[in-house]
Amino acid sequence: MTISHGEEQGLANLREAFDQSFARPRELKSAIRENFLAVRVAGHPYLIRLSEVASLHARRQITAIPSAIAELIGVAGFRGTVSAVYDLRALLGHSGSGPLPWVVLVRTKELLGLAFDLFEGHVSVASYAIARKEPFESVRLDDSEVRPVLQIASVVEALERRIVALPKES
């Protein structure tokens, strides 16, 4: 099996995060923690709340289907169910081309797949590290890195509005 550079980097990041978890001092048990997936979409860093994720998949076979929604890549099978898979780059307004090796299934009314470029690892942060300024959130990971939190509900709502606005076939 061939591993791409992006997948190799994702695995290296996982190993590093695991090793570093033993090097950091323990935080107070009373701190409420939130868990995220760290991802890159068209080179931009984002976090996705783990509570909104049903599963994460690498190199999933996606079958293209015709659609009036340009962001729809196609459909794929996930543990006995078929779900639509959308290009997260395009949904967020980023340009880019090439393969999207990672798919995150998010919990919505129906499972929905969002394909992206690079999975960097799992991040667990104390709730005080999350800056909230409606409708946005960001997380300070360290002194030099702040990442925006993807608002999955907002992404899905915008997609649903576009679908409803499509002209009906007669």
Q: Tens digit of pLDDT for each residue in 126-144?
A: 988 898 887 678 898 887 8
Confidence at 76, pLDDT banded by 50, 70, 90: very high
Q: Sheet of 44-49: strands edge to edge?
A: 44-49, 33-41, 118-126
Check whether the bond before 135 is cis (ω within 30° of 0). yes
DSSP string, 41-54: ETTEEEEEEGGGEE
Top-confidence residue, 52 or 29: 52
Residue 9 is predicted with a pLDDT of 82
CATH number of the structural domain 5-24+31-165: 2.40.50.180
Report residue 43: phi and psi, to 5°. 85, -10
Give the global pTM: 0.78
Between the ranges 29-33, 123-127, 136-140, where is the mean pLDDT highest? 123-127
Distances (CA, A) of 68 to 58, 59, 114, 151, 152: 26, 25, 17, 24, 22
Q: Tens digit of pLDDT for each residue in 34-44?
A: 999 999 999 99
> Cβ(47)–Cβ(123) under 8 Å?
yes
Residue 69 is predicted with a pLDDT of 92
Whether 83 shows a pLDDT value over 70: the answer reads yes
The mean predicted confidence, pLDDT, of the chain is 87
Residue 12 is predicted with a pLDDT of 79
Which residues, in sequence order, are bridge partners of residue 58? 102
Cβ atoms within 10 A of the Cβ of 49, count?
Answer: 17
Q: Show Cβ contacts of residue 143 under 8 Å, excluding neighbours closer than 6 positions.
A: none
Residue 35 is predicted with a pLDDT of 96
